[in-house]
């Protein structure tokens, strides 16, 4: 990611923080920005928060390509097991 896009993404995160003080902001938005910045731990933090809040995007964990960079992460694998428990 080039420096300009990084600055824009960081500004968007600050804007989401500001908006979050006034109304609900889906954890998915913050997760996507952190993932785009290459910040896997922060992205996983927001994924886990979304799971706790029962946010809609958790249903795409198995198939959506946006999650490809996280698939080998143990925290992601644990979250998959929570969302899609084995019978």
Residues 11-54 pLDDT 10s: 888 888 888 899 988 899 889 889 988 999 999 999 999 999 99
Encoded tokens for 85? 């428990």
Cα–Cα distance, 70 to 50 (Å, whole number):
15
Taking the CB of residue 35, how many other CB atoms lie within 10 A of it? Answer: 20
- 10: domain range? 3-83
pTM, full prediction: 0.84
Distance, in Å, from the CA atom of 86 to the CA atom of 73, rounded to the nearest integer, reads: 19
Q: How confident is the model at residue 67 (pLDDT cuts 50, 70, 90)?
A: very high
Domains in the chain, number: 1
């Amino acid at each position: 990611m080039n420096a300009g896009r990084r600055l824009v993404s960081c500004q968007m995160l600050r804007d989401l923080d500001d908006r979050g003080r006034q109304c609900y902001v889906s954890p998915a938005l913050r997760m996507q920005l952190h993932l785009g910045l290459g910040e896997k731990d922060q992205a996983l933090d927001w994924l886990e928060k979304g799971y706790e809040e029962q946010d809609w995007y958790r249903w795409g964990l198995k198939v959506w390509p946006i999650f490809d960079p996280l698939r080998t992460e143990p925290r992601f694998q644990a979250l998959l097991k929570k969302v899609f428990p084995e019978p």
